[in-house]
Each structure stands twice: as C-alpha cells, then as structure tokens.
Amino acid sequence: MDSILPTEGRHVLHLFFRVEHSQWEIFSAQEQLAAKTQLANLVKDVRAEADTQLLTLSIVTPKADLGFMLVCPDLQALDRISKQLTLSLGAGVLVPEFSWLSMTERSEYTTSEEEFATSLAAEEDIVPGTPAFDERIASFRERMAKYAKDRLEPNLADWPVFCFYPMSKRRQGGRQNWYALEFEERKKLMAGHARVGRTYAGRVRQLITGSTGLDDGEWGVTLFAHTTSEIKAIVYEMRFDEVSAQYADFGEFFIGIQMPLDALFARVAL
C-alpha cells in the first residue's frame, strides 16, 4: 500500500500491554520459545527499517506489564508494526492497556530570526551590517536548524528510566483558557516554561509530540532520565510554572524501564 507520510516529522506510538499469563501457559515450551523468537526477530527487523526507532520497556506499575515506543515516518508502517507487536506472542497473550498516537512537531513559540536580531541591537548594540552581527546570526541559524531537526527527527535516549504522560491546555472560561490568550502572551509564558526545563539539561531528556486530532489529548510528553528522582523533580518544579499551574491538564503517568528483550521476558515471567 502507498505510504502515508507527514509533511514533516515522524509518527509516534506509545503502546502498553498486559501479559495474559493464562493464555501464555496454554502454549507448549517449544511454542513459547518460537513466540519469543518471533517477537525478537520482529524487533530486530523494525529497528533495521529506515528512520525507525523502537524501544522495549518494562512498565513498573500494574497499569501495564510491558510497552513499546515506536517512532517512524510512515503511518502505514506504524499501523503494520503495532498490529504485529500485538500478535507477536500469539493471540490473546498481549492485551492492550493503553496507547497514544502523536507526531513530532516544531514549537510555534521559538524565537524568530527577526526577534533575535532585534534583541542583539537592543541588548548588545550589535547591529545589521557588522561582522559581529553576521557571525551571531549565522550561529543562530545553525542552532535553530539543529533544534528543529532534534524536534522533528529525534534520536531517542537509551537512558534507563522512561516516563510518559499525555497533557492538554485548559479551555475553561475566564482566565484559564489558554486558547483565548494572545499569541505574544502565550509565547512569553512558554519561554518561562522552557527556562525551567533547560535547568535539567544533561539530567532529563524530553520529547514533546503533538496529538491534536490524532488522540484524546493535545500532546504526549516522553521523559528519559537515569533516576526516578530526576523525573519527579522536573515534573514537580514544572507544576509551579504558570503554564502548568494555570493552564495544563495531565493524563495518566506511566513509568517504565528500558531493557533488552531477553531481560524483559524474564521480568514479566515469559
């Protein structure tokens, strides 16, 4: 079938399952080994596909047993792979508990080149037509190009602690309607929000993906860290930021541990 590709970016699917052990135990030892080999081969093949990433996760709480995070450009491929994953251990063994479809996207609140040039003149007296201006603008363009590529074509971190949660912006009457605010006010608030996030550079890596029109909320937030302490700290601190305190609604939180399939099989008693 023809590929279904976005104009830019990647499709992203979070897919979490419960293991139905009573169904698994119906299989013979030979059938169980064949099923695990089938899933291992599927994961290997998916990871070999162009511009495609697949994480295997043990979900820590009883909300689910194991999970996958899949990133790929083609919606057809994503749909095919998700169905293959669901059936990979045999019908009825992996029971879907939660899924979230989203896409990588640019932020509409990034600083424009015009805004950066204005700030250079106002704050540093560096004006157009000077070597210093040209150098700073070239550096700005390079930095923003990398930022856009990292947002649209991310390389997922291999850090062990994984956190995912969906969120939306409030539309309540009066003050708590994000979409009733003027763009400049929203941009100013998001700049403050981003400053908090940057203080966790090197400790927490995040990927914000858009799900408006694709799933029940507006964004999916994926965090990677080396310890749950960092996840807890950044989410707690962010909640005091006005963007979160006044305008954010959060969905369920899922904590997972990245691990290879052999360790994952042992963890969930397969």
Beta strands in 3-109 (DSSP E): 11-19, 53-59, 66-72, 94-104
List 165, 179, 236, 247, catalytic entry: 165
Q: Which of 193, 207, 201 lies closest to 245 in space, CA to CA?
A: 193
Total Cβ atoms within 10 A of residue 158? 8
Annotation says 109 is catalytic? no
> Could you write out the three-class secondary structure of 110-178?
CCCHHHHHHHHHHHHCCCCCCHHHHHHHHHHHHHHHHHHHHHHCCCCCCCCEEEEEEEEECECCCCCEH
Check if the beta carbon of residue 32 is closer than 8 Å to that of residue 24. yes
Q: Which of 54, 59, 80, 82 lies closest to 69 in space, CA to CA?
A: 54
**Mind telling me the catalytic residues?**
165
